Amino acid sequence: MTGHNIANAATPGYVRQQAMLEVTRPYTPPGVVRLVRPGQIGTGVEATRVRRIFDGFIEGRIRLANSALGYWDEKKAALEQVEAAFNDPSDIGFGDSLSRFWNAWQELSKRPESDAVRAVLIEEAGSFCAILNRTATQLETTQQELEAAFRAKVTEANSLAHEVAELNEEITKIKVTGNEPNDLMDKRDAAIRRLSELMDVSVYEDRDGALTIEVGGEFLVRRDTVHELDIQAFGPVNSVVVWAHNREAVAITGGEIAGVREARDILVPKYYDKLNEIARTVIDKVNELHKTGYGIDELNTHDIDFFVGNIPGSEARHIAVNPVLVADPRKIGAARPLVPGDPVAPGDGTVAGEIAALKDKLLMESGRLTIGGFYSETIVLLGNDSETAERMAEVEELTLHQNTSRKESFSGVSVDEELANVMRYQHAYNACARMVSVIDEMLDVLINRTGVTGL
């Protein structure tokens, strides 16, 4: 066992093994009358079994820590993707683009007759829309990636469950013969450890060494039987885990699967909805004012939407500057006639000024925040969520490290200790060999060098 331990000192998941030695049955010399002698004659030692130096309690704590760490790691990774999509605070993010958009309207209110200023407004508005489109697209892509990861992890969980069931069968067959399938048990524990990273599991061991694994109160593996998990889709990115045999929902509350599911169904949609709320408010308020404005010297150029793409639920994804205004910026409704129907002076920028003033109006959160303030609050909330996920991941990683260290100190292989055992066994072997040599010399003298001589 010492050689096996040393060979597997660097093998992940290997549990140190130890040969259990017991005294063999002593020999009692036969006789009618009991001879006076001290005790029986010893017959040596034998290895009765090879045991794993294993602590099930520590392994259970490792599984719990694995589930918690997997849950927070997935949320942390998803929030990092959301932060990358918003790309704020930065000089090229959404917040900066929104400010430039309002500033362009303010400049137009001062110089409404300038074709150059109108062209700048179209450019800034297009940049603002492009950033909204890109951010929304990235959030949608993140959701799709989370859905793919969700399905892949469920498939992996099924594969691990079948592996555990097969190992259960092998282990029980070997135990029936009186042998110890320690290496197979190591392999099974490694599979369950990975399974615990994917979901929160409860593990129970039968007397014959077979394990039962439960998820949400229902068994996933019982001896060599597996209740497979399946995916039931309610939309392109809205699937749930169900039991394949009865189509009931599986109560998974921890692990990577739960973390991915929460990120896909709650975290990413939360920020996607906030982005849509901003886009919807900008579209509605800007269009409402712009329709009242007139272009340069054109009484019939009014009642035009500045933005198009107001599709409920995906405003940020489809918002765009009206192609009519892109083709002819002179039609931007910056002016409002003093008397309806009167010619509009090229220098009037009343409507443009009113649109620019939207920057400071409390239009969000029931009149509590401006559009810019709402966006800033969204970024702060995103930062808090991301920091919480990162901090919790660090806490769970520390917990896992502590429990893993406890396991290694108890079940891990110390090469120095094993080498010391080698030396101890070597000295014991040399002592036994020396004893046999002495007995051999005594018998040689007794048989070959004694007897009647001189006849």
Q: Over the stretch 416-439, which tens digit does the pLDDT of each residue have?
A: 777 787 788 788 878 888 888 888
343 is a domain residue: yes
pLDDT tens digits for range 147-189: 999 999 999 999 999 999 999 999 999 988 888 898 999 999 9
Cα 53 to Cα 407: distance, rounded to the nearest angstrom: 10
The pLDDT confidence band at residue 285, using thresholds 50, 70 and 90, is very high
Q: What are the φ and ψ backbone dihedral angles of 351, each rounded to 5 degrees?
A: -65, -40
289 is a domain residue: yes
For β-strands 225-226 and 218-222, DSSP reports them as: antiparallel
Higher pLDDT, 396 or 90: 396
Residue 271 has pLDDT above 90, yes or no: yes
The pLDDT confidence band at residue 37, using thresholds 50, 70 and 90, is low
How confident is the model over 62-83, as a mean pLDDT? 95
83 is a domain residue: yes
Structure tokens at 328: 């002819």
Residues 125 and 131 sit within 8 Å (Cβ to Cβ):
no
Rounded to 10 degrees, what is the CA torsion of 312, 313, 317, 323? 0
Q: Tally the domains of the chain.
A: 1
How confident is the model over 301-311, as a mean pLDDT? 88
28 is a domain residue: no
42 is a domain residue: no
pLDDT tens digits for range 97-140: 999 999 999 999 999 989 999 999 999 999 999 999 999 999 99
Residue 143 has pLDDT above 80, yes or no: yes
Query: 344-370 b/e with 16+ CB inside 10 Å = b?
Result: beeebbbbbbbbbebbeeebbeeeebb
Task: Tell me what the pLDDT averaged over the chain comes to.
Answer: 88
Q: CB atoms < 10 A from the CB of 318, how many? A: 17
276 is a domain residue: yes
pLDDT for residue 345: 59
For β-strands 225-226 and 229-233, DSSP reports them as: unpaired
4 is a domain residue: no
**Among residues of the chain, what percentage have pLDDT more than 90?**
58
Residues 202 and 131 sit within 8 Å (Cβ to Cβ):
no
433 is a domain residue: no
Residues 80 and 386 sit within 8 Å (Cβ to Cβ):
yes
- Sign, Cα dihedral of 185, 188, 194, 200: negative
Rounded to 10 degrees, what is the CA torsion of 118, 119, 122, 128? -110
pLDDT for residue 284: 95
Q: What are the φ and ψ backbone dihedral angles of 15, each rounded to 5 degrees?
A: -110, 130
Burial of 12 (0-12, 13-18, 19+ CB in 10 A): exposed
Q: Flag whether the pTM goes above 0.75.
A: yes
Domain housing 343? 59-399
The pLDDT confidence band at residue 342, using thresholds 50, 70 and 90, is low
pLDDT for residue 298: 60
Q: Which amino acid is at 455?
A: L
Residue 209 has pLDDT above 90, yes or no: no
Least-confidence region, from 96-105, 294-303, 336-345, 385-394: 336-345
pLDDT for residue 28: 74
